[in-house]
Amino acid sequence: MTIFTDHACMGICLVLARRAGSRGEVPVGAIVVHDGRIIGRGYNLREADGDPTAHAEIVAIRRAAEVIGHWRLLDATLYVTLEPCAMCAGALVNARIGRLVYGCTDPKAGAVDSMFGIPTDRRLNHRLQVVGGVRAGECADELRRFFRARRRRVRASSARRTRLEQRQVRAR
Ligand SMILES: [Zn+2]
């Protein structure tokens, strides 16, 4: 039984994505829903944890497995704002998650529809139901805003550096 709609669940993921963004992490958020209950929440913690595997999906899946007390998350649905990468898509298959709902596509690294089709690959021993494009515009906006602000910061700091260097040259 699911008491949440896909739209509402993606809204929770968007809140988590914003939390990641406010901490300087690429804004991606994920939740795992089982039996009408959220059993795992996660957002990208790659920078904070210094961990290349700390993607939102992995964080949420780990929490969910702790709650269930088992690695197998059959009948669970994972919601995430961005199309999962190859690592996360592989983790979804390994966790035997029943259904995946994602927001915007990731043309450069997406392993669900864009570059690979891991969750639906018939050569693997488990396949997921996939729904993509839920609140895709809002999910993509979150990422766009983050990268635009980061580019602005980089430009501002390099301009500051240049001014400082010019002053040092003049002082010599
Ligand atoms: Zn990933």
Ligand 1 center to 94 CA (angstroms):
14
Rg (CA), the chain: 19
Ligand 1 center to 99 CA (angstroms):
16
pLDDT along the chain (172 residues), means of 10: 82 98 97 97 97 98 97 97 98 98 98 98 96 98 96 89 83 72
Ligand 1 center to 74 CA (angstroms):
20
Distance CA 82, CA 85 (A): 9
Considering the entire predicted model, what is its pTM? 0.91
What is the per-residue pLDDT for 1? 47
Structure tokens at 90: 């592989």
